[in-house]
Amino acid sequence: MKHPAPTHAVDMLIVGAGFAGLYMLHKARSMGLDALVLEAAPGVGGTWYHNRYPGARVDIQSMEYSFSFDEALQQQWRWSERYAPQPELLRYANHVADRFGLRDGIRLSTRMAGAHFDEPSQRWTVQAESGESWSARFLVMASGPLSSPNLPDFAGLKDFAGPVYHTANWPHEPVDFSARRVAVIGTGSSAVQAIPIIARQASELTVFQRTAAYAAPAHNGPLDRELEARIKADYAGFRARNRRMHGGFGSLLPPNPVSALAASAEEREAAFEQRWKIGGFAILGTFNDLLMNEQSNALVAEFVRGKIRAIVKHPGTAQLLSPTHTIGCKRLCVDSGYYDTFNRPNVRLVDINQAPIERITSKGLRTGGREFEFDALVLATGFDAMTGTMMRLDLRGRDGLRIQDKWHAGPLNYLGLGIAGFPNLFNIAGPGSTSAFTNVIVAIEHHVDWIADCIAYLDAHGLHTIEASEQAEAAWAEHVNAAARRTVFLSCNSWYLGANIEGKPCMFMPLAEGFPRYADHCAQVARDGYVGFVLQ
Ligand code: NAP
């Protein structure tokens, strides 16, 4: 495809105005770079712009899930709840855009169509769907690991007479489900948050479940002001301690440094119970091997199943809601009343694992030879994660190498940051980095800072391009795989593996070695003059 010559030139073109794009733009400007963000949506905020479904909120505590790069920002911003709801997170993103004067560097409602690396100029030509194009020395993909909604190809979906919503593409005007019969397909994190709220509104709610979900209680509520004051008294120290935690958060409650197998049954039960009362991801840190050792994992999984049996009154429903896979293998959901919702007389659970959905009809859907009728359908079916957004682009590196060919067997990369054949392209919080296993804002800040240091290095050494080597990529793929093999993460069909998308190559995409080791690794690569990258 031949494109017209680019109409504008910038130093850095950034794709996406979520938290990654906002901080990248701020950082680039602080380095004196001329940078521009292209954002497909009409507003900033990324994930928090699109995921407006009822109950959407962050699953990492807000005092941790927020930017650390500016002391005045972190001191002055006040979260209202332990886990901020989506509207507040969106306000925060907008506040950051205003506070740092970023808006004039962001082109909203401008969807990137593709980008081609131009050999003679050693620059990227980036095209928008509008037909505009830019020439950029650096291309930064800040498009997010969970930004392409997964719309399964259900037969007959178009025949459904009522409205169809996807949790990741929710309307801006309030959706009123009162006096309506609603169906939800999917039981991952999005569904687990939305279902209790939809159930309170709808006259009838039918949940179609393929795989039961583990959910730990959020115990959400107003932010503890005494805790806030304590953290703000030394926010920088708190952030630094979190960066030394496996997931980039949780320093107030580190994992217990012993194996679950070393404790007696009574000690284990008491320890699980204590962490369950604290809520959120705390339960997975009750012992240090719950995500590494299947035997230990089985103990905490059974503890949660016990909770489900205690909460859900109907034994058959409790049984169906009880997951059988390893806990944490799919991201643990953090809920507010999810299991209890199935005690409501207007809620029913339908297993679509044994008998998959046959087709959607004008009035509902058919599965297992049974017809279900409803007025509105909610698809909580997740994302084509980590690669979906880039694989939809016309992205071509050296010699016209298409990203679809480069990644046909899985997303090869080095450190998650670079791709051989795609010089001066950086990927933030994508495959090959700890992104999905980390407090993603910590991951974003780390990547942006690394990219900034890298560009400063290139300039200081009179170099123009940086590109991962194929050898480093192959070794990194093995490194990512080996880290996954040391955990329980390979034991189920998760989006980490691409297994939720039909036809997608199965390759474990995020790096499971923990943020501190990964960050140390990236720092060492930089100290060694970007070993594993080709610099020219
Ligand atoms: P998800 O975890 O991938 O869940 C999708 C659900 O839809 C699963 O239950 C899946 O079943 C089901 N599904 C997918 N395709 C289906 C099909 N063809 N037929 C029947 N069922 C189907 O997606 P998500 O809930 O949107 O969450 C994705 C990630 O986003 C989370 O893991 C988390 O990282 C993030 N997130 C975080 C929060 C938060 O609490 N802050 C909230 C929402 C999302 P299977 O399991 O059988 O595939």
Tens-digit pLDDT profile for residues 41-52 = 999 999 999 999
Query: Measured from the CB, is residue 352 less than 6 Å from ligand 1?
Result: yes
Distance 331 CA to ligand 1 centre (A): 9
Q: Is the CB of residue 156 less than 8 Å from the CB of residue 359?
A: yes
For a ligand 1 pocket test, name from 166, 206, 210 the mutation site with the most ligand atoms within 8 angstroms of its C-beta: 210
Look up residue 150 and give its two tokens.
């997964």
Query: Measured from the CB, is residue 331 less than 6 Å from ligand 1?
Result: yes
Distance 150 CA to ligand 1 centre (A): 9
Distance 185 CA to ligand 1 centre (A): 10
Query: Measured from the CB, is residue 411 less than 6 Å from ligand 1?
Result: no
Q: What is the bridge-based pairing of β-strands 123-128 and 112-118? A: antiparallel
What separation in angstroms does the CA of 252 have from each of 248, 249, 313, 355, 387?
Answer: 12, 8, 35, 44, 33
- What's the full length of the chain, in residues? 536
Q: Is the CB of residue 294 less than 8 Å from the CB of residue 326?
A: yes
> What's the angle, vertex CA 257, arms to CA 256 and CA 258, rounded to 5?
95
What whole-number distance in Å separates Cα of residue 174 and Cα of residue 205?
Answer: 18
Query: Measured from the CB, is residue 365 less than 6 Å from ligand 1?
Result: no
Query: Measured from the CB, is residue 60 less than 6 Å from ligand 1?
Result: no
Look up residue 410 and give its two tokens.
């899985």
Among 454, 447, 410, 446, which residue's Cα sits nearest to residue 427? 447
What separation in angstroms does the CA of 144 have from each of 21, 38, 114, 418?
Answer: 9, 13, 16, 15
What separation in angstroms does the CA of 270 have from each of 253, 265, 283, 469?
Answer: 16, 9, 12, 50
Tell me: pLDDT of 534 over 60: yes
Over range 490-495, report the average pLDDT.
Answer: 96
Query: Measured from the CB, is residue 382 less than 6 Å from ligand 1?
Result: yes
Tell me: pLDDT of 194 over 80: yes
Question: What is the secondary structure of 415-460 as a DSSP string?
Answer: TTTBBTTBTTEEESS-TTSSGGGS-HHHHHHHHHHHHHHHHHHHHH
Percent of the chain with pLDDT over 90: 99
What separation in angstroms does the CA of 437 have from each of 37, 218, 484?
Answer: 26, 18, 12
Among 88, 79, 90, 100, which residue's Cα sits nearest to residue 23? 100
Distance 187 CA to ligand 1 centre (A): 6
Over range 269-297, report the average pLDDT.
Answer: 98
Query: Measured from the CB, is residue 190 less than 6 Å from ligand 1?
Result: yes
Distance 315 CA to ligand 1 centre (A): 25
At 442-465, the pLDDT tens digits run: 999 999 999 999 999 999 999 999
pTM score, whole prediction: 0.97
Tell me: pLDDT of 257 over 70: yes
Distance 65 CA to ligand 1 centre (A): 21
Integer-rounded Cα Rg, in Å, for the chain is: 23
Query: Measured from the CB, is residue 367 less than 6 Å from ligand 1?
Result: no
Q: Is the CB of residue 45 less than 8 Å from the CB of residue 89?
A: yes
For a ligand 1 pocket test, name from 167, 381, 493, 494 the mutation site with the most ligand atoms within 8 angstroms of its C-beta: 381
Over range 120-136, report the average pLDDT.
Answer: 97
